């Protein structure tokens, strides 16, 4: 099933045009930073849009994007949107990811996943090959996957998307 929603050109240009069923994303396995098994969709809040940033501790582009995503998260958390990070450093590197997050590089919550599992889940959910970090998944307020993009992203594109979701369709 292809999710059809009303998207504005700036958002489409920024996020790309990969649209797929949110149901396929439900099986993406993650663990919390406390080591508790979960799924990506279980980590999403109902009634809030969620931008998922897939990152690694060694990704240079990710480090440049942290302030952008943190500012967006801080401006919207608890209201209409939030950011959730997914580290692909793998479960064996949980302590290293915990230490990295503790340094305060970003302000949004994060979970951890195995890169191979995420790549397979990404392909199943989007129909596209996973190309690396950073990669962004955008879920609507009903936890349906509505967009995916590899590479950096701008806050303006995220804000435009969010503003346009409140307009009549």
Question: Could you state, in order of their start, the residue ranges of all structural domains in the chain?
Answer: 15-164
The residues that bridge with 46 in the sheet, in sequence order, are none
Q: What is the pLDDT of residue 98?
A: 98
- Compute the distance between CA of residue 63 and CA of residue 61 in angstroms, rounded to an integer: 5
Please work out, in degrees rounded to the nearest 5, the angle formed at the alpha carbon of residue 71 by the alpha carbons of 15 and 79: 85
Which pLDDT value is given to residue 168? 53
Residues in a beta bridge with 110: 85
pLDDT recorded at residue 5: 35
| Tokens (6 digits) for 160 | 């435009």
Q: How far apart are CA 8 and CA 27, in angstroms?
A: 29
Query: What is the rounded CA–CA span in Å between residue 140 and residue 60?
Result: 28
Q: What is the CATH number that goes with domain 15-164?
A: 3.40.30.10
Q: 50: which strand partners? A: 82, 139
Look-up of token digits 């994060």: 110
pLDDT for 28: 86
Question: From first to last of its 169 residues, what are the pLDDT tens digits of the chain?
Answer: 223 333 333 333 444 444 344 555 667 899 999 999 999 999 998 899 999 999 999 999 999 999 999 999 999 999 999 999 999 999 999 999 999 999 999 999 999 999 999 999 898 888 889 999 999 999 999 998 888 899 989 999 999 988 887 665 5
Tell me what pLDDT residue 62 has: 97
């Amino acid at each position: 099933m292809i999710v059809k929603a009303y998207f504005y050109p700036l958002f489409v240009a920024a996020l790309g045009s990969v649209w797929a069923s949110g149901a396929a994303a439900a099986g993406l396995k993650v663990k919390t930073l406390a080591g508790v098994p979960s799924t990506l969709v279980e980590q999403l809040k109902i009634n809030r849009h969620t931008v998922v940033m897939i990152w690694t501790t060694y990704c240079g582009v990710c480090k440049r994007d942290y302030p952008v995503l943190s500012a967006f998260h801080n401006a919207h958390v608890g209201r209409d949107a939030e950011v959730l990070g997914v580290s692909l450093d793998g479960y064996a590197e949980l302590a290293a990811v915990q230490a990295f997050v503790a340094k305060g590089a970003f302000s949004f919550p994060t979970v951890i996943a195995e890169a191979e599992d995420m790549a397979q889940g990404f392909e199943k959910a989007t129909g596209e090959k996973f190309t690396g970090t950073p990669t962004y998944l955008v879920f609507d307020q009903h936890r349906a996957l509505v967009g995916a993009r590899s590479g950096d992203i701008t806050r303006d594109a995220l804000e435009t998307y969010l503003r346009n979701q409140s307009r009549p369709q």
